[in-house]
Amino acid sequence: MGLLLDFRYALRNIVKSLRFSLLMIFIMVGSLTISLIGFNFIHTIAFSHSSFNHNKEDIRILKVWNSLTSQREFTYSMLDGFKQLDEVNSLESWITIKRSSLWLSTQHYGKHFRASYVDPSFFKFLGQEPVIGRGFTNVDYSNNAPDVVVISHIVWQQLFQGDSAILGKQLNVAGKPHTIVGVMEKRNHFPIFSKIWLPLKQANMKPDDGIDILYKLPNAEFERTFETQIAHYFYNAIKDQVSDSDKQTGQGVRIESLTLVELNTDGEAVFVFGLFVFGIVIVLFISGVNIGNLLFAKIMEKQKESAIRAAIGATQKRVIQQHVTEGLIYCIVSWVFTLIFTSLGLEILNFYMNVMFGGKMPYWWYWHLNVQTVLVSLLLLAIIFTFAVLLPAYKSAKFNISNVLRDGTRGATGKETTLMSRRLLCVQVSLVSFLLMIASTVGYVMYSIATNIDGELSKGVYSVYLDFDNNDELTNDEQLTLINTLAAGLSKQGNIIDAVVFDSHIHADVLYPNGDVYNEKFISISAESHLFARELLTGRNFNSNDNSESKPVVIISESLANALFGNQNVIGSQLMLQDAMWSSVEIIGVAKDEISGVSGDSRHELYFSLRQTHFMDDSVNIRLLTNNTANEALEDFYRVKMQLSHDLTMYYMFDHYDNHTSMINSFAAIIYVFLLVGGFALTLSLIGIYAMGISNINKSRYEIGIRRAIGAKDSQIMRLFIKKNITHILYGIGTSLLVFGILCYLAESFLRGNVPINIMLEAGALTVVVVLAAVCLALYVPVRHVIKQQPATSLRMD
């Protein structure tokens, strides 16, 4: 009966103070909704699996960790030996896949997509056939069979506009016509990003081509034993490439069995998830402090009533129950609205992410209100209830009846509650300031990158990646001659403005003239046949004389010249290197700086002559500049390629402008998230400050009335009460600023100065100014409201 009475009493209070009730519900719903959407977002990325196959979580992919050689994957030449292993024969189901990126084109449109070459067991392993057409038959795997392809739903829509007569149509895959025989179900991009699937023909594979091995895990005990045995097999397959000294170092090969989600996050899922959860906890804690502060202030306003109830026999438990009931109603109502808004928010998130990234997302990135999110909502609600409802109710019920009835809210009890409220607010403001400083810094850096990179310069720029077929027949010089012949021929075509050979797979440490390693900033190292759209300040460009028989030369950026030598008069100087082909190289040119993406900062760049370096992995990259469509440029490309003395295979074409657009969209999405979360956290803080100001001013009406009665000016009263309330807020901001400064110092060292510390500190300082201005406004408004009253009105209380 007592609980029912408390419930009815709480409802009356909620209706009576409707604005306060709506404010409480807004804070709870807002903080819980943001927290749940954030949780669902990162949980889906890091841990969720596809709904296409209920056993998808049992699928594993083998990842190689090899410290002995540069080989990091299984190769096609290993496949026959792999099939003979007893451990492999004990598997119920396994397949091989060769992942690739290919240029797909029709007569009117072209675009690069991720692709997979799959073996005959693929569709059985997947447990799904194409929804339109068929999968591959054994005939399709014959070397002489016509080329066929199964496409994804997104390729069907983008290249063929969902044509119902899609079967039998032709699709050019890397310049070769293929017949479409099937269309997969929407959002099925197995294993991760694949948009088309092709038969894994022997004629399409070279011995050193990398392959992925996927299998279905029979049981948990099998996995570790299988990893060890496969690692032993991999070591035996590469041991001829391992030096005698490395063989003595012990186990240098490790095979890890990962889920597809773990592979996509590169094993960092737990770290990323933990980082997001930390942000969620901060927002939730800010909300909890705010809710607790508001409820505590409201409870303290009724403490005299509670003291009277206690005086006539009510137990402490009964008083706590009365206060808790109102908070429980707030929690239940807020939870219902939270689930509704979270569901709507996730639908909007799905639409937004698909518009921004389309088919570039893994197939399991689909956000919806699932069981895990509902369970987390209950957990978060329980935390808020405990921290923001139960604890304030318990704290407020521990009072001395005589003290409360004697001095109400103006004596010792009022001072104690005011002090506690201010301390809670100090913590809240500290967290909000820290969160906003981090968010503003990251957002400002990303905004600088987005605005300082001219996307128009990447329009019409494509990178074509090529493999040398039968590479053992060609020396490095012959490969270079072949690829330069191709580049020279492309530059003469009508659809191609320029073509340059480029290789960025170069790793070395740059040294100061005194021999110390330069590690203050990242250095971009690449090799080119000539500089692509770059201006030289001094010196000369590369030429045909800079070959493997001549002395090694290099071109550096002006910022790197200043960092290493203190000036730009470095032509003819020797640049010291470590772990490179040469111990030193001669500087022949200084290139004009390019902005790295952060305001006022320049990239450190180092260019080698491609004629003096060796191709990595027997592949090479040609950059094309065209004002026409990619398909028209490719027509010229294939025309010139057919005239070469040796065949080259194009396995990937990269659109720089499309990549730039995707990067800008990613930055924009992150900035929007920071603005939303940071803005909401600041709003919560301002609400708390405003409510605290109202509460404290209400308790001080009597004092204000006396001060005004004896002639105090309004401005004096204003400054006095703002000063009283702002002290703890300044403590909170100061604490967050100190922690932020330490993190900036550590971040500058970690990023090697690529994001200057002054940029981070400027963003943090600007945030502090905004927060402080907002806080002063939130404190000013309630004081301004009270001092407008006549002294007689203020003194007519208690």
* Measured distance CA(425)–CA(419) in Å, rounded: 10
User: How high does pLDDT run on average in the chain?
Assistant: 78
**Whether pLDDT at 53 is above 50:** no
**Whether pLDDT at 55 is above 60:** no
**291-312 per-position pLDDT tens digit:** 776 776 666 666 666 666 666 6
Using pLDDT thresholds of 50, 70 and 90, give the confidence band for residue 2.
low
What integer is the mean pLDDT of 241-257?
Answer: 69
pLDDT value, residue 311: 64
Q: Compute the half-sphere exposure of residue 24: CA atoms within 13 Å on the CB side of its CA.
A: 29
- The runs of H, that is alpha helices, within 521-603 are 558-565
**256-274 per-position pLDDT tens digit:** 888 877 777 665 556 666 6
DSSP string for 732-775? HHHHHHHHHHHHHHHHHHHTTTSS-HHHHHHHHHHHHHHHHHHH
- Lowest mean pLDDT segment, chosen from 26-30, 429-433, 674-678: 674-678
pLDDT value, residue 336: 93
What integer is the mean pLDDT of 347-364?
Answer: 76
Tokens found for residue 721: 């009460």
Largest CA distance in the chain: 105
> Helix, strand, coil shares of the chain as percentages rounded to 5?
55, 15, 25
Mean pLDDT highest for which of 146-160, 421-435, 648-662?
A: 146-160
**Whether pLDDT at 222 is above 80:** yes
What integer is the mean pLDDT of 648-670?
Answer: 77
SS3 556: strand
What's the Cα-to-Cα distance from 10 to each of 95, 113, 321, 335, 398, rounded to whole Å? 63, 60, 11, 18, 20
Tokens found for residue 481: 């001659």
**719-773 per-position pLDDT tens digit:** 777 777 777 778 888 888 888 888 888 877 776 666 677 777 877 888 888 888 8
**Whether pLDDT at 63 is above 80:** yes
Mean pLDDT highest for which of 154-163, 392-401, 449-458, 602-611?
A: 154-163
**526-563 per-position pLDDT tens digit:** 887 777 667 888 999 888 788 777 889 999 999 899 98
Using pLDDT thresholds of 50, 70 and 90, give the confidence band for residue 212.
very high
Give me the percent of the chain exceeding a pLDDT of 70: 78
Using pLDDT thresholds of 50, 70 and 90, give the confidence band for residue 52.
very low
pLDDT value, residue 409: 46
**Whether pLDDT at 57 is above 80:** no
Compute how many other C-beta atoms are within 10 angstroms of the C-beta atom of residue 492.
10
* Measured distance CA(792)–CA(771) in Å, rounded: 36
**79-90 per-position pLDDT tens digit:** 888 988 888 888
- Residues contacting 529, CB < 8 A, separation 6+: 484, 487, 500, 501, 502, 542, 609, 610, 611
**Whether pLDDT at 50 is above 60:** no
- Which position has the higher pLDDT, 463 or 5? 463
* Measured distance CA(694)–CA(779) in Å, rounded: 8
**Residue type at position 590:** V
Give me the percent of the chain exceeding a pLDDT of 90: 13
What's the Cα-to-Cα distance from 512 to each of 3, 170, 330, 509, 516, rounded to whole Å? 77, 57, 65, 10, 5
- Which position has the higher pLDDT, 415 or 334? 334
| 322: enclosing H helix or E strand | helix 316-357
Using pLDDT thresholds of 50, 70 and 90, give the confidence band for residue 218.
confident
* Measured distance CA(604)–CA(526) in Å, rounded: 12
